[in-house]
């Protein structure tokens, strides 16, 4: 019964979304206030309805209602409760329901927190947002209905893919969706602005929190996915340039570009057309990502829906929205007149460079991801594009980005002086180069990747700290320390996020350059040396979990003859899903992880055992967390929370408010 109510609520939500599209958009066009005002209650109602629908599906998973086809296919009565709940979005239909729930949530938020938006802009934003929802409701109801019943309910389900039964991956999709769908909000703002024919500083200020929020969610989502891959897949890889990873990485890159160019719109009323275009492209890439994942056009790990019908449908949604938006853009963009004047050496120019690098790097990921499809369809060549290509073609962009970041972040708005900006940075540059050289001297016969990573990391992190210190004025140290606490949160957010990026760049390079590995057959009681650590295989035994069987090992790790920890790598088999997984035994450390994997028993006795030393592994996610925290702090800045009256606000005077 609840299931049917959920199904019904979903259909109602779709109808509400249709009304929410038509009425406010017509109202805004005709200037009818009462029609425009309908957008707000409709957004709230739509959210409540789709929220109920999602709750109904969750309930079916929790009580293991196997009369529901989706529950039967993706759940099992023995599964822990947490994974029954996360199983709701561990499949195509449920995840699409989560997608529309998020769409409705963002629409409702725009209504709840958008009281300071001009009525016509708000009506148009809500209308466009609902139009996106309509497309996805149609997609769900016509091709991917989660509420289909089974004729004869089976006794038990087929279980969720065991790899998804993991805390890291359980929460990876919701964050990604919040990010993907958050970009729909910037898209709605962009289309609404094109319809209004007006982009000004206030628009830049309104659109930025949404972009920032979407970017923070994408950062967390991607970080979780990468962390999961690291500890779960059994050899400590953290990024594979898999098409589906790329699908989330492209919007991340464009969102990063967008949130920087929106600053220029807000502060200087320039780059308007470009910012609108970026907002369209960023959401376009989110849709493209959905298409890549759902259609299975690029065979990939994550493609749980290899269904051409669905692929075509999403391709139509993608073509409709991106094509329509670009047409509108072409017709209206010329009306976006740039106002701010700035010189060649200025913060604005640095942000243009940032946008060039981020956008082109996203394009490189794009072409690399789709090249195999193109090659096969057009050239008739079956080929692969993998990590070696991306490492070679993509990394230079982040090297360049890291090089210009500290300088650009410190340059003055409007008219800057390179000499002035570089003066406080010289010590950082010297430190970065010397530490890089030191790293080069200490490592013997390894690639230059590690030292370059050290130098770049020190340069970016040191640059961020210098930036912060520069903001505190020129008085004595105590006065400056006092001013630190009173800096706008946006400044802190900027510094923390930039430092986070420096740390991640460094950690990725360090891990790739300095990893150590040992593969051997070990018998119980064997002890061996890997780097500065010794590892001993203490015991291997069988253990039974709630819904799996495990071969588990006890392994001790010694350093300098002293035991520093015991870890328990496992090899699990999930009988229902007929699938084995590895659970690596990881001893986390600040400077390095010791990563142990137990393999198969050998014919001659003993076990295949792998030992990996992963230097600075946790710094990769530490940096990602810092980036997300920086975004959140910036999001909490007073300026963005209290934007009342911003509509009438004049463009900020040059050099006035310190820049984000």
- 141: contact with another protein by CB under 8 A: no
Residue selected from 4, 77, 235, 481 as contacting another protein according to rule CB under 8 A: 235
State which residue, 198 or 414, has the beta carbon closest to another protein. Answer: 414
Tell me the closest approach of the beta carbon of residue 418 to another protein, in angstroms: 14
- 335: contact with another protein by CB under 8 A: no
Site map for another protein, 243-282, x if CB under 8 A? x--------------------------xx--x--------
Residue selected from 115, 476, 525, 600 as contacting another protein according to rule CB under 8 A: 600
Residue owning tokens 């509108």: 328
* Cα gap 64→85, rounded to integer Å: 10
Classified as helix, coil or strand, 535 is strand
* Cα gap 272→266, rounded to integer Å: 9
Residue selected from 44, 300, 443, 588 as contacting another protein according to rule CB under 8 A: 300
Q: Are 50 and 130 in contact (CB under 8 A)?
A: no
Residue selected from 19, 316, 356, 657 as contacting another protein according to rule CB under 8 A: 356
State which residue, 235 or 541, has the beta carbon closest to another protein. Answer: 235
Q: How many residues bind another protein (CB under 8 A)?
A: 65
- 342: contact with another protein by CB under 8 A: yes
In 63-118, which ranges are continuous DSSP H helix?
69-74, 81-86, 92-112
Site map for another protein, 569-588, x if CB under 8 A? ---------xxx-x------
Residue selected from 608, 647, 654, 657 as contacting another protein according to rule CB under 8 A: 608
Tell me the closest approach of the beta carbon of residue 67 to another protein, in angstroms: 27
Token readout for 317 is: 């949604």
- 359: contact with another protein by CB under 8 A: yes
Which of 61-69, 230-238, 450-458, 493-501 is the region at the interface with another protein (rule: CB under 8 A)? 230-238
Tallying the residues shown for the chain, one arrives at 660
State which residue, 25 or 345, has the beta carbon closest to another protein. Answer: 345
- 39: contact with another protein by CB under 8 A: no
- 371: contact with another protein by CB under 8 A: yes
Tell me the closest approach of the beta carbon of residue 342 to another protein, in angstroms: 5
- 465: contact with another protein by CB under 8 A: no
SS (H, E, C) 562-615: EEEEEECCEEEEECCCCEEEEECEEECCCCEEEEEEEEEECCCCCEEEEEEEEE
Residue selected from 178, 352, 505, 513 as contacting another protein according to rule CB under 8 A: 352
Burial class for 529, CB neighbours closer than 10 Å (0-12, 13-18, 19+): exposed
State which residue, 176 or 364, has the beta carbon closest to another protein. Answer: 364
Can you name the residues that pair with 432 across neighbouring β-strands? none
Tell me the closest approach of the beta carbon of residue 627 to another protein, in angstroms: 24
Residue selected from 306, 602, 641, 658 as contacting another protein according to rule CB under 8 A: 602
Residue selected from 80, 167, 237, 320 as contacting another protein according to rule CB under 8 A: 237
Please give the torsion angle defined by the CA atoms of residues 354, 357, 360 and 365, in that order, rounded to the nearest 10 degrees: -110
**151-155, long-range: CB within 8 Å, 24+ apart, which pairs?**
153/66, 153/67, 153/72, 154/66, 154/72, 155/66
Among positions 516-555, residues that touch another protein (CB under 8 A) are 519-521
State which residue, 65 or 266, has the beta carbon closest to another protein. Answer: 266
Burial class for 424, CB neighbours closer than 10 Å (0-12, 13-18, 19+): middle
* Cα gap 85→258, rounded to integer Å: 34
Which of 81-89, 198-206, 385-393, 585-593 is the region at the interface with another protein (rule: CB under 8 A)? 385-393
- 425: contact with another protein by CB under 8 A: no
- 159: contact with another protein by CB under 8 A: no
What does the buried/exposed string (b/e) look like for 391-416 if buried means 16 or more CB atoms within 10 Å of the residue's CB? eeebbebbebbbbebbbbbbbbbbbb
Indicate if the alpha-carbon torsion angle 289, 291, 297, 303 is positive or negative.
positive
Which of 114-122, 131-139, 311-319, 596-604 is the region at the interface with another protein (rule: CB under 8 A)? 596-604
Per DSSP, 352 falls in state: H
In 333-382, which ranges are continuous DSSP H helix?
347-374
Tell me the closest approach of the beta carbon of residue 413 to another protein, in angstroms: 12
Cα distances from 362 to residues 82, 212, 294, 384, 624, in angstroms, run 35, 18, 21, 19, 18
Neighbours of 562 (CB within 10 A): 8
Binding residues for another protein, per CB under 8 A? 161, 163, 233-235, 237, 240-243, 270-271, 274, 299-301, 338, 340-344, 348-349, 352-353, 355-357, 359-361, 363-364, 367-368, 371, 375, 379, 381-389, 392-394, 397, 519-521, 578-580, 582, 597, 599-600, 602, 608, 610
């Amino acid at each position: 019964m609840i299931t049917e109510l959920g199904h019904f609520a979903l259909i109602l939500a779709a109808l509400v979304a249709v009304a929410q599209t038509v009425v406010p958009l017509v109202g805004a066009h005709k200037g009818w206030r009462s029609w425009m005002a309908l957008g707000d209650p409709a957004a709230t109602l739509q959210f409540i309805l789709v929220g109920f629908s999602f709750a109904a599906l969750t309930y079916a998973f929790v009580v293991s209602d196997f009369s529901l086809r989706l529950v039967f296919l993706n759940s099992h009565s023995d599964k822990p409760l947490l994974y029954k709940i996360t199983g709701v979005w561990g499949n195509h239909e449920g995840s699409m329901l989560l997608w529309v729930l998020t769409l409705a949530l963002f629409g409702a938020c725009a209504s709840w927190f958008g009281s300071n938006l001009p009525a016509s802009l708000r009506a148009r934003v809500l209308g466009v947002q609902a139009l996106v929802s309509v497309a996805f409701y149609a997609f769900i109801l016509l091709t991917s209905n989660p509420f289909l019943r089974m004729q004869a309910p089976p006794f038990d389900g087929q279980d969720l893919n065991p790899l998804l039964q993991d805390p890291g991956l359980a929460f990876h999709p919701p964050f990604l969706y919040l990010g993907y769908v958050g970009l729909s909000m910037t898209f709605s703002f962009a289309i609404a602005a094109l319809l209004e024919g007006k982009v000004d500083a206030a628009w830049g200020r309104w659109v930025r929190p949404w972009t920032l929020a979407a970017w923070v969610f994408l950062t967390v989502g991607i970080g979780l996915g990468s962390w999961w891959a690291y500890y779960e897949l059994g050899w400590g890889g953290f990024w594979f340039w898999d098409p589906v990873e790329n699908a989330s990485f492209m919007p991340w890159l464009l969102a990063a570009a967008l949130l920087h160019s929106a600053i220029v719109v807000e502060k200087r009323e320039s780059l308007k057309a470009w910012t609108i275009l970026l907002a369209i492209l960023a959401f376009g890439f989110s849709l493209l990502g959905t298409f890549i994942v759902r259609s299975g056009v690029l065979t990939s790990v994550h493609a749980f829906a290899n269904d051409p019908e669905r692929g075509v449908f999403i391709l139509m949604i993608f073509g409709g929205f991106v094509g329509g938006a670009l047409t509108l853009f072409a017709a209206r963009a010329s009306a976006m007149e740039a106002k701010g004047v700035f010189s060649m050496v200025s913060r604005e120019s640095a942000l243009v460079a940032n946008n060039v690098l981020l956008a082109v790097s996203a394009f490189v990921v794009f072409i690399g991801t789709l090249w195999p499809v193109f090659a096969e369809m057009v050239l008739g060549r079956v080929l692969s594009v993998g990590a070696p290509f991306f490492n070679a073609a993509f990394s230079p962009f982040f090297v360049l980005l890291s090089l210009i970041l500290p300088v650009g972040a410190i340059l003055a708005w409007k008219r800057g002086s390179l000499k002035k900006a570089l003066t406080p940075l010289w010590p950082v540059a010297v430190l970065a180069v010397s530490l890089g050289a030191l790293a080069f001297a200490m490592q013997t016969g390894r690639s230059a990747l590690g030292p370059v990573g050290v130098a770049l990391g020190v340069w970016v992190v040191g640059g961020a700290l210098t930036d912060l210190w520069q903001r505190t004025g020129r008085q004595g140290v105590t006065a400056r320390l006092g001013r630190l606490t009173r800096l706008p949160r946006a400044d802190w957010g900027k510094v923390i996020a930039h430092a986070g990026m420096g740390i991640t760049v460094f950690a990725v390079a360090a891990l790739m350059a300095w990893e150590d590995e040992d593969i051997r057959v070990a018998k119980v009681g064997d002890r061996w040396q890997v780097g500065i650590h010794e590892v001993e295989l203490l015991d291997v035994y069988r253990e039974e979990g709630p819904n799996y069987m495990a071969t588990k090992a006890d392994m001790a790790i010694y350093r300098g003859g002293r035991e520093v920890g015991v870890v328990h790598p496992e090899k699990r088999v999930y009988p229902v899903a007929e699938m084995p997984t590895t659970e690596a035994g990881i001893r986390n450390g600040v400077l390095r992880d010791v990563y142990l994997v137990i393999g198969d028993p050998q014919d001659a006795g003993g076990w295949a055992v792998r030992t990996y030393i992963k230097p600075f592994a946790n710094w990769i996610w530490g940096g990602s967390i810092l980036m997300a925290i920086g975004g959140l702090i910036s999001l909490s800045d007073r300026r963005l929370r209290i934007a009342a009256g911003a509509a009438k606000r004049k463009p900020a005077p040059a050099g006035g408010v310190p820049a984000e």
